[in-house]
Amino acid sequence: MRNIFLFIRRHFNLLLFLFIQGFSIYLIVNYSKFHQAAFGSVFNNITGKINSRYSEVQQYFYLRKTNDSLIKANEELYNKLKADFSLPDSTSKLVLDSIHVDSIHEFRKYTYLQARVIYNAVSTQSNYIVLNKGSLGKVKEGMGVIDPNGSVVGIVTAVDEKYAVVMSLLHKDSHISGKLFKAGETGTISWEGKMPNLLLLTGIPKSAKISKGDAIISSGFSTAFPIGFRIGNVTAVYKETSSNNFKVECSSAANFYNLQYVYIIQNTDQEGVHSILEKANTQP
């Protein structure tokens, strides 16, 4: 208390000046319409800027919550895609119709499971991605993975109860079936390991009409990805001297440097297709 009185006594003249100055401004603003309008405009401008900055700071701290809600909303939209449903083939079945069932009912073929990236590598020859969802979340080996924009990321290669490991497109052993969107020819997407985000499409015949910028999509010739998901865009085309095929360079559609959330594609036909392929491979 004593220090407060000492402070007032030491700065009495300054404090008195500030008080009189503030009181004068109050009288001018309160009894003059012009000054009242001018002060109101300045005050509104200042408070508007403060509120704007406060809103930006508040929005920043809510970004993670907003991202989570958008990812969940995207998951619901993916699961409503028409291409994810298929009609049962009943043309060759002999059925005793004891229960009335609508035979044209659509069955879900693909389901999308959202997951968060907790580890991602882009600078080695064997790049992997780790997700925070495993077998408890219905994830299995061989499932395809896409980013929130529908771009191909890789394929699940290992799973435990809580986590899944994805072989990125940027992996020396990665081979995915890709298709030229305009020309329609199908080839194999791989990575040479030279430059990040630069992929190769091989197996395209020289009769194909390819131009720079053409889109490359998933062909649908695997259980990992439905047809139509973006893989990349053509950046250069070269003729292979040792074959009748083109060597097509393309930039990946997915941004592997900024992966935060992904969707895992669950295919209900995956086990059946793999089972029959294994039987075919074991036959002499």
Asked if 163 and 248 sit in the same domain, the reply is yes
Backbone angles phi, psi at 227, to 5 degrees: -70, 140
pLDDT at residue 84, rounded to an integer: 53
pLDDT (tens digit per residue) in 15-30: 888 888 877 777 776 7
B/e letters for 252-262, b = 16+ CB within 10 Å, e = fewer, are: bbbebeebebb
Q: What is the mean pLDDT of residues 152-176?
A: 93
Closest CA to 85 of 67, 60, 111, 116: 111
What does the pLDDT look like over 52-100, one tens digit per residue? 665 566 556 556 665 666 776 676 666 666 555 554 444 444 444 444 4
Clarify whether residues 77 and 21 are in a common domain: no
Q: Is the pLDDT of residue 1 over 80?
A: no
Relative to beta strand 107-108, strand 85-86 is antiparallel
Q: Are residues 122 and 36 in the same domain?
A: no
Q: What is the tally of structural domains in the chain?
A: 2
Distance CA(64)–CA(61), nearest Å, equals 7
* Helix, strand, coil share (%) of the chain residues, nearest 5: 35, 30, 35
Give the whole-angstrom CA distance, residue 24 versus residue 129.
67
Instruction: Decide if pLDDT at 179 tops 80.
Output: yes
Q: In the prediction, which pLDDT does 87 show?
A: 47
**Under DSSP, is residue 161 helix (H, G, I), strand (E, B) or coil?**
coil
- Domain containing 129: what range? 69-84+107-272
What was the pLDDT predicted at 98?
A: 44
- In a domain, residue 280? The reply is no
Residue 131 is given by DSSP the state E
What pairs with residue 129 in β-bridges? 120, 166
93 within a domain of the structure (yes/no): no
Q: What is the pLDDT of residues 125-148, one digit of tens each?
A: 899 999 999 999 999 999 999 998
Token pair of 262, please? 């992904």
Q: What is the pLDDT, as a whole number, of residue 62?
A: 56
* Residue whose C-alpha is closest to residue 110's, from 226, 230, 218: 226
Indicate if 46 and 113 belong to the same structural domain. no
113, with CB counted inside 10 A (0-12, 13-18, 19+), is buried
- Supply the pTM of this predicted model: 0.64
pLDDT band for position 14 (cuts 50, 70, 90): confident
Q: 242 in helix, strand or coil?
A: coil
57 and 77 housed in the same domain: no
**Is residue 95 included in any domain, yes or no?**
no
* CATH code (residue 228): 2.40.10.340
Kindly report, residue by residue over 218-255, the tens digit of the pLDDT. 998 888 898 889 999 999 998 888 888 888 999 999 99
Measure Cα distances from 103 to 81, 97, 112, 117, 164 in Å: 21, 11, 25, 41, 37
Q: Are 31 and 133 within one domain?
A: no
